[in-house]
Structure 1
Amino acid sequence: MRDWLTAREIAEEQLPELPKTESAIIRLAKREGWNAHPCYVRDRAAVGGGLEYNYRLLPTLAQVTYVQRHMVVGLETATPEASTEIVAPATVSNRAAMERDARLAVLGAFDRFARGMRLHQRACMQIFCDRYGMGMIKVDDWVKDLVPSVSKRSLARWRSLKTNGADHALAIDRSKARAGTGVLDTANDGLVRKFLLALVAKAPQLAASEVRTQCRYEFGDTLEVVSKGLRKTIELPPIRTFQHFLKALKETHAVELTKLTNPDKFRSTMALSGVGTLRHITEPNALWQIDASPVDALCTDGRHSIYCCIDIATRRSIWYVSRTPRASAVALLMRKAILAMGSPDAVKTDNGSDFVSRDIKRLFASVAIEAVVSDAYSPEQKGHVERMIKTFQHKFAVLLPGYVGHSVADRKAIEDRKSFAARLGEDDAETFGVSLSGAELQEAVDRWAETMYAHEPHAGLGGRTPFQVAASSTTPIRTIDERALDVLLMPAVGNDGRRTVTKFGIRIDHRHYLAASILPGTEVFVRRDPNDMGRVHAFSLDGGTYLGEALCPELAGVHPETWVKAQKELRAEIIRDKTAEIRKGMREINKGPALHERALAVAARDIPNVVALPKREERHQTPQIAAALDVGTSRKRVEPVATDAQREIVLADLAPQRAFENVTPIRSDPTPAQRFRNALDIEQRHTAGEHVDAEQLIWFGSYRESAEYKAQRAMWEDFGDQAPGLRT
């Protein structure tokens, strides 16, 4: 509806209480001073100039007629905050949102209708409500359906809610307002509803009649409900009520029931899934994802599996076709991908046996690739490769001869293209038109990845193609020599590849592989050459040192006797080289003292400069010891008693020898008295803290335990320092 009109346009409207010609309207404007209201008159911007008047300058009846003639109640008459598109908040149903928008449209129309009216507010509301009810105000169909009529009281209440900012109170869905108040919702204090919800989750295939039967078994033929504050007993509702209730229950709890009854559908359509979680991966080869899936097409040599490797940053993909899923296929895929794109920093896989085998873990560790394994049954954690395989299956596999469909239903539809009579006696190859072999399929997949997918714009790459992203990257690529990669891909023997070399060589599968350069007792890690069963390669246990190759004469096609003889000669030469230096050292040792002399000399150096004092002794006696002493004697043993003459002789021996000049001693060996005097001197000097030679201390220690020392000591203790030869 236009708010500004020229004098001609006002005259053309033929409104009541106004002249019918343009000149008469101009004279009326001058006479009533319309031009004196700057807010309601303005210069006409169009060609020809003149003035334009706001319709609110017109008399009341003329305004009402003009508004009801041109104003249409709809979203355009709602408040500026009202959207031109019906959008329901998360907590408001679509029906309630439409009710709110219709009421806001009516309020907006009333505000425009009443603005400028020279009438009381209640009079304006009465006129608007009357004309709205009589259809004299144009209304959009959807508004008329939701608000067929309006009263002054309702209009006043709506305006009050809008003024107080409570627009949400205008959103009323009468059907939702009654939700949760039905018989089956409230019966038995809500226990019936809980039981039915659990029953639907356990057996979603049950019909309403079966559900009612189960409810009868659980609660009987009557239910308890509360109506208007009073508890009463009612009969079990009919099947129709159960049908409506189950329909509403499944809609209300759609997510929970899908999680319990169809986990795969919940994971693919309802489970929370992050978008753009790998957008920080911008460098090529920072992260790869690999996965496998059966190809949705048959080959002449059977159905194959397709392994895919995708670079997250560039979306480049490498494919490998394998007859059966196994770890060797993953290894060959990695070889192909590394040679084509370089070595990655990390590779993410699922926890399938072919991806987490020992050989694959060993390969990743050998080339310094971090292996990241997703959680079990969580394909969303490697969504890029999952999406890549789906793209292949839906865009390229459908073009292949031998396509069998993505599901059982698809396969059935393809089979049904021929009548049963036409298929009678045919095999799958004839039915599905199989013509490609596995090798031909590999070639076709590689061509599709290089010529089609690599040059298609990708939304995740900002509209660029994988080829463009890879070509524009300046990140250095880590390359691996093909020969080294082939060796690292050789399978390890046995479960872990560990073997211990014996005198017979390396035993593998009841055969012995000889390697003269590897000495017996060495633990090695062995890889088997897949192209030569008679040859293996030995490494250190950590794989960081190559020790040499070993051959099995029978499998290598070599004469066993000749090969063993050559290996013995080589081994003998190696042993001679290794023992030459050792033999030289042995000869140097033989030139010196004997080993026991060396040991005794070291022991003597370790003896501390301390002499132990004599310990107090007690004679131990038992009847058996006494009896043993009597053996060989016919009379009782008598202790010898020294006579005076004998004492004289001993004292004479202990007396110091006089020095006679020009006299040559008859003998040079020291006497017992001299040895005792020497022992006393050593003991006294040691007790006084004077230095005593180690050899003298050793002699004193052994002499002190002799019978001679003990006899001399007894005599010295009897006579003391007065004994001849001991005076100081």
Structure 2
Amino acid sequence: MDAPSQDWWSAAEIAEARLPDLPTTKRKINQRAKSEGWDRQPGKVRRRKGRGGGLEYHYSLFPVRARLALIEPPQEIEAKRSREDAWADFDRLNDNAKQKAEARLKAACLVAECEGAGMIRSAAVSAVATRSEVSEKSIWNWLQMIEGVAEADWLAFLAPKPTGGRGKVEPIDPAFFGLIRDDWLRLEGPSLTSCYDRAKRVAKKEGLPVAPIHQVRRKMKEAVSKPTEVFLRKGAEALRRYYPHQDRDKSALSAMECVCGDYHKFDVFVRWPGESLPVRVQGVFFSDVYSGKILSWRLSLTANSHTVQLALGDLIERFGIPKSALLDNGREFAAKVITGGTETRFRFKMREDDIPGLLPMLGVKIHWATPYSGQSKPIERAFRDLCDRVAKHPAFEGAYTGNKPDAKPENYGNRAVPLEEFIAVLTEEVEDHNAREGRRSEIAYGRSFNQVFEASYKATPIRKATKEQRRLWLMGAEGLKASAKNGELKLLGSRYWAEWMYRIAGQKVVGRFDPDNVHAGLHVYDLDGQYIGHAACVEKGDFLGVEDAREMARKRGQFIRAAKEEARASREFSAAEIAARLRAAGEDAKANDLPEAEIVQLVTPHAKAPKTPKTPVLMRRDNEAATEARLEAEIARLEDRRTPVAVEDDPEVNFERCQELERLDADGHPLTEEQRNFLRDYQRSAAYRSFLRMRRAFGGEE
């Protein structure tokens, strides 16, 4: 440390110098010197030479800041910050800087305690410096930082000021930084290092100053916000996921107040009837939003509205009609047979004359889930459970496909499980999913989904469907033609008949049925949508089964007896009564005849008039006329065979005709040009493919 220009100071000179931490009057200086014992320090005090005498003190007795003021040139006193700015700066510091501020505060408080106990400040500073193992100069600096500051704000004023970096940092050239920033903020997501290297090549050619990469990285964090980075490097969907998700409270709901439905494709190879290759089946599931319980499900090869319709029917049949439904936005749920008439549908064209779908007709309010947002559908949590417990079930070893193309197991494609086995395992796991206890939702509190659902279901008013409403979710088959003989209907290889069906013989009707239970019968409607009646399925009997034959004979006998009784009851008059009334009418007619003529004139035949032929000649002419009539009828029949027959606009008739032509063509029979044109055009139609899939799925001749 450099020595000051003056080593010895009198009390008057010290007061006049106005040094830090020293009084500014001669009297106070003398009191300070006496209290601190300056005159008892050997080599630090001497008699003043010259007139007036007195004592002079060595500058080493002065406080540290006073000595520094004598050595260093005077500096402008920095204006103190406001308490708001001080606390704002403190809040921006890291933990290390805040710990330093707490250590300074502890030292300053110790100095204040020592002064309160009667020690002078310099002695207190010296004692605290020794105890805290810091220099006295540092403590004096800290005391100056909190001079005139309320004790409650000492921590903020003692904290190191945010510097924003070490040393002086040269600013980055805006053009150079812009090259790196615009190259880095692309959806391809290049690394900052590669962008920096490319920018250096451009800067070298154009003469731009190059900044170090660590400064560029720091500048990038300061200049580019995180939302901007996410949007420009990852896209709008990533920006949507970046925003915090919403926790939705289910405690205000109740059982069956809202159900959630969605499709799920299982990661298992299954042998589906009618399919030559293994398939991954899909299932539509409906769960209760309040409890999480899976209420109903159905399997299918593809996502379609018919399976959704049947799964909804199972739910309503067993549990009742829900108040609202949260549905996926797929075509299978947005189909008009399900949600027709809903104003907020996002698919298909909406018209004012749309027929209401199944849910609107039952008074169910529709809510649509956000597209491509699994977190908005609570049933997705159940699917995650089924992925682990169903797809990876030990019974399906070798049939698991993996949940993505690059995650196929080593035994991929080793086997495919039969559909019956898959349904049995799925049924067991769904029941276990509902009955498993220890659920941690805000509703369950350790209970199972079944327990939560049953507790709320008992205390909630539930709407039940009528028998007429139950027929709404059955699959409809239009264009069925009743047999002209007895009104019998045929569908998917099964026959349906009831005693009342003679009334629809030869007519086209609409049938509603459950494709998973075709033996349950057929609900028959006319083409105007009016319900006609139910037709039972005519079961096939065992070829040698006596009981089946007896049962059939018993039913036939009952039908014949009922028909006979109805026929007898329908006759009001017997044949004898009708004959007697006819004879009476004939006698009355004879009584009313005109009287006979009394004068009769004979007409003489003309001389050239042909004579009356004999009886054999008349018979021969009659035979010739009959033969000629038969020849004309045969000629007309042959002409009709050459004339193309107009095909009825009946989908099932067209499909049967196509099947017949295919068999003839396969057997080598020649087809006419009209027949070949019909076969070629119909095989390209959607109706042909639909009937073919139905025949394969539900059995039947091809």
Larger Rg: 1
- Give the TM-score category using the shorter length: 0.3 to 0.5
Greater RCO (Cα-Cα under 8 Å, separation 6 or more): 2
Q: TM-score, normalised by structure 2?
A: 0.47
